[in-house]
Structure 1
């Protein structure tokens, strides 16, 4: 399970900002409700995402050793006025340029505060990559636009999600995370359109390109653990990797197009209900 390079994360943030800007300027009603985040309109989602990018820019650019309050971050909430797609687009573009520039200048190892026990700029490059990858899906679904993500990014997004849930279980347990501390439940994720990573086979041997990407996720009394693999489990979520990612993040229904649930569906539903890091 290889973490992507710092440059790859920076490139992907820039790419995802561009894709999100396309949604903003597509003519979609900015007041439309986001089905996967029903408390937000499309404009509120974009303002949240752009604000997150500006927050991380401030953290990384100043090498912050503690969190920075919202009121100290210029234009955190976005441009004045509501419903102005051009102004929102310009602000989002600048937000992306700021954070990507700060991350590239810092490199992956600069000491920067984070909330998840990894006080380095590299944490934020990875976190923002997957934050915008998933929120861009939210925006695309709200706009009725197609959505795809590169296989390496989708696979890493699954792994990062699992790591964050694991960290919360160990360091900031809440009621839902605590309910996941159970034994003898396992989930398999199986991509029908993406090869396994090199070196993911038994004993670290190279995996033939024809073998599909997969993860085995085990719930244990000490926390979630996972590994590459395809051994039998109680339940399997199977489909295109992008769809598997979005379903695993609760962005697509389990019976969405191209997805299959094989085995004990209630085990997967239990995970989706309880797996949170916020």
Structure 2
């Protein structure tokens, strides 16, 4: 899960830029998607062996991944219900997973559903613009509804991919997932790993993400001191084209770009996807 340690409460260090909190879905829809995506996730767990390794996150078993998602929900729930101003990172159990072994789906499914429902309820009971659990100067309810909805989307893919179950995602939700990645994960990577991402910046360095099945085109401009994202169709140093869900999986490093259309500087694209990690 993306951790916003140095994003909380201020701009990205060295950029003066605050993460944009936009996207395709409204606040109420994102709250609903926390429950919906969790329900879809658990529907694939019936009879599953939770001890198997997750290929996309090889350090975790399915057991640990499910607990990770549930603890992330509960951490966000705690912050919203207690209306904390500062984010309590020491109360986040989403990375402390070693003890979760030998559980069955029947042990974890009710717990996971309960946490998702509680978080959605907590978010619905506060003003979306209330300055609690603040991230990057933005109201926590808006950002955490966005982050937790798509945290669940991506980890649902991890689950179904592990089990060999088909993955389907509403196009509007997928567009919102892509927007969330560009608004939060992308600037986070440049802040968190400045030495690794620095080679991406330079004259003429632009990346175009072009969905072929929905209206979603983004240009990531790397020509300055920080990435800048624009909507629309522009000629870029490299373009990646394909169905929007495949673009999402590519930028989240869940799939290679093989099978998608790549035009232009493929080496820049490979470097970009390697360095901008979640």
Stretch moving more, 158-167 or 222-231: 158-167
Deviation sequence 1:158-212 (CA, Å, 0-9, x none): 2221222454367655322334333311111121211x2xxxxxxxxxxxxxxxx
Q: How many pairs align?
A: 255
> How far is 1:235 from its partner?
1.8
Q: Residue 31 of structure 1 aligns to a residue in which SS?
A: coil
Select which of 130, 138, 143 maps to 1:123.
143
Does the 8 A contact of 1:166 with 1:223 survive in 2? Answer: no
Tell me if 1:101 matches 2:104: no
Select which of 139, 164, 170 maps to 1:144.
164
TM-score w.r.t. length of structure 2:
0.83
Report the equivalent of 1:205.
none
Report the equivalent of 1:228.
231
Report the equivalent of 2:271.
270
Report the equivalent of 1:54.
74
Once residues 142 and 44 of structure 1 are traced to their aligned partners in structure 2, the CA distance between those partners, rounded to angstroms, is: 13
Unaligned stretches of 5+ residues in structure 1: 197-212
CA distance 1:106–1:145, change in 2 (3 Å): same
After superposition, residues 180-199 of structure 1 pair within 5 angstroms as 180-194=200-214, 196=215
Once residues 269 and 101 of structure 2 are traced to their aligned partners in structure 1, the CA distance between those partners, rounded to angstroms, is: 42
TM-score w.r.t. length of structure 1:
0.83
Report the equivalent of 2:32.
11
Deviation sequence 1:85-115 (CA, Å, 0-9, x none): 1111011011111101101111311221244
Q: Residue 24 of structure 1 aligns to a residue in which SS?
A: coil
Report the equivalent of 1:218.
221
Tell me if 1:164 matches 2:213: no
Report the equivalent of 1:243.
246
Unaligned stretches of 5+ residues in structure 2: 1-21
Structure with more relative contact order (C-alpha pairs < 8 Å, separation 6 or more): 2
Report the equivalent of 1:204.
none
Once residues 29 and 157 of structure 1 are traced to their aligned partners in structure 2, the CA distance between those partners, rounded to angstroms, is: 28
Q: Residue 44 of structure 2 aligns to a residue in which SS?
A: helix
Once residues 22 and 9 of structure 1 are traced to their aligned partners in structure 2, the CA distance between those partners, rounded to angstroms, is: 20
Tell me if 1:82 matches 2:102: yes
Stretch moving more, 129-138 or 174-183: 174-183
Once residues 182 and 228 of structure 1 are traced to their aligned partners in structure 2, the CA distance between those partners, rounded to angstroms, is: 20
Does the 8 A contact of 1:112 with 1:120 survive in 2? Answer: yes
| Aligned-CA RMSD value | 2.5
Q: Residue 106 of structure 1 aligns to a residue in which SS?
A: coil
